[in-house]
Structure 1
């Protein structure tokens, strides 16, 4: 189990029934990066990965 699994499990437990948009997720990621600029690279990589999930060239 990765350390992040605990946070992901909490996310599902607390918000698992919510329906959100990609715009909402992008806004939360921007807020997170504004509060924690040291995670800018990881956040950018995660957002890019999400954006390209269905791209067969990636």
Structure 2
């Protein structure tokens, strides 16, 4: 288990039953970057990865 899996597991446990839109996810990511600009590159990479179509051969 990676260290980051702890946060993923907490997210699933606390919010796993909720539904979110990509608009609300994008707003949350923007807020996170505003509060933690040192993670801008990582959030950008995650957002780009999430935005790719399912048939992207690089996934």
Do the two structures share a fold, i.e. TM-score over 0.5? yes
Structure with more contact order per residue of length (Cα contacts < 8 Å, sep ≥ 6) = 1
Q: Which residue is 2:22 aligned to?
A: 22
The Cα of 1:32 is off from its aligned counterpart by: 0.3
Tell me, what secondary structure is at the counterpart of 1:56?
A: coil
Q: Which residue is 1:48 aligned to?
A: 48
- Give the count of matched residue pairs: 58
Moved over 6 A (4+): none
| Cα distance between partner residues in 2 of 1:52 and 1:33 | 21
TM-score (norm 1): 0.92
Are residue 31 (structure 1) and residue 31 (structure 2) matched? yes
Unmatched tracts of structure 2, length 5 or more: none
**CA deviation profile, 1:4-28 (whole Å, cap 9, x unmatched):** 0000000000000000000010000
TM-score (norm 2): 0.90
CA RMSD of aligned residues (A): 1.2
The Cα of 1:56 is off from its aligned counterpart by: 2.5
Unmatched tracts of structure 1, length 5 or more: none
